[in-house]
Amino acid sequence: MSHMTERMKELFDKVPTVVLSTVSEDGIPNAVPVGAKKIIDDETILMSNQFFNKTLNNMRANPRVAVTFWEGHEGYQLKGSVTIETTGQRFEDTARWIDEKSRKSGVPRKSKGAVILRIEAIYGLAPGPGAGKKLA
Ligand SMILES: Cc1cc2nc3c(=O)[nH]c(=O)nc-3n(C[C@H](O)[C@H](O)[C@H](O)COP(=O)(O)O)c2cc1C
C-alpha cells in the first residue's frame, strides 16, 4: 500500500473534481470527472457512483484504476484497485451524504454505490525533471 501525505490529502479535498480513469475489457480507455469523493484514510479514498456507466462496466471487468487531480502545476496520480460497496455502513453513509448534497443543490441524484480505492502507488505530475516520478 502507498500512503498519501498531508499535502496530497489537502489538495485532494480542495479540488472540486478528480479524474477517474478506467479501461474496458477490450482495452478501451475511459476517463470521467468525479466530484463526490472523500478521503477515508492515508491509503484509501471513496468515490460515489451516481451516474457511472462505462466506468462501472469497466471497473466490474477490471478493478484497476487511476485517479488524477491537480491544481496549477501541482498534481498527483493515485493507482490501485477498487471494490464497489452497495450495502453496509460505508454505502449507507455515502447514500445519506449524496441525499444531503442533492437536497442542498436541488439537483436530484442518488448514490448507487461507494467505490473504494485502495492506493497501491502514487505518482507526481508536476512538470519538470520529476514529472511522472513514483512518490510512494
Ligand atoms: C463536474 C462533474 C462531476 C461529476 N461527478 C460525478 C460523481 O461524483 N459521481 C458520478 O457517478 N458521476 C459524476 N459525474 C458524471 C460522470 O463524470 C460521467 O458522466 C458518468 O460516469 C458517465 O460516463 P461514463 O459512461 O464514461 O462512465 C460528474 C460529471 C461532471 C461533469
Which tens digit of pLDDT belongs to each residue from 25-83?
Answer: 999 999 999 999 999 999 999 999 999 999 999 999 999 999 999 999 999 999 999 99
Q: Report the Cα 54 to chain-centroid distance in Å.
A: 15
| 55 CA distance to ligand 1 middle (Å) | 9
In a domain, 12, yes or no: yes
How far does the centroid of ligand 1 lie from the alpha carbon of residue 130, in Å? Answer: 30
Average pLDDT of the segment spanning 3-18: 98
Chain centre distance of CA 44: 9
Is 31 contained in some domain? yes
Distance (Å) of CA 73 to CA 32, 87, 127, 132: 20, 38, 7, 13
Check: CB of residue 97 under 8 Å from CB of residue 114: no
Domain encompassing residue 65:
6-124
Are 34 and 68 within 8 A, CB to CB? Answer: no
Q: What DSSP assignment string belongs to 97-126?
A: HHHHHHHHH-------EEEEEEEEEEEE--
Torsion 7-9-14-18 (CA) sign? positive
Question: Backbone phi, then psi, for 126, in 5-degree steps?
Answer: -55, 130
Asked, for residue 134, whether it belongs to a domain, the answer is no
Q: Cβ < 6 Å from ligand 1: which residues?
A: 17, 30, 32-36, 48-55
Residue 21 lies inside a defined structural domain of this protein: yes
Q: Is the overall model pTM greater than 0.85, yes or no? A: yes
Taking CA atoms only, the protein residue closest to ligand 1 atom 12 is 51
Q: Is 8 helix (H, G, I), strand (E, B) or coil?
A: helix
**CATH number for position 110:** 2.30.110.10
Pocket perturbation via mutation, ligand 1, pick of 22, 34, 56, 117 by most ligand atoms within 8 A of CB: 34
Report how many domains make up the chain: 1
pLDDT the model gives residue 1 = 83
Q: Tell me how far the alpha carbon of residue 126 is from its chain's centroid.
A: 19
Atom number, ligand 1, closest to the C-alpha of residue 48: 9
* Residue 129 belongs to a domain: no
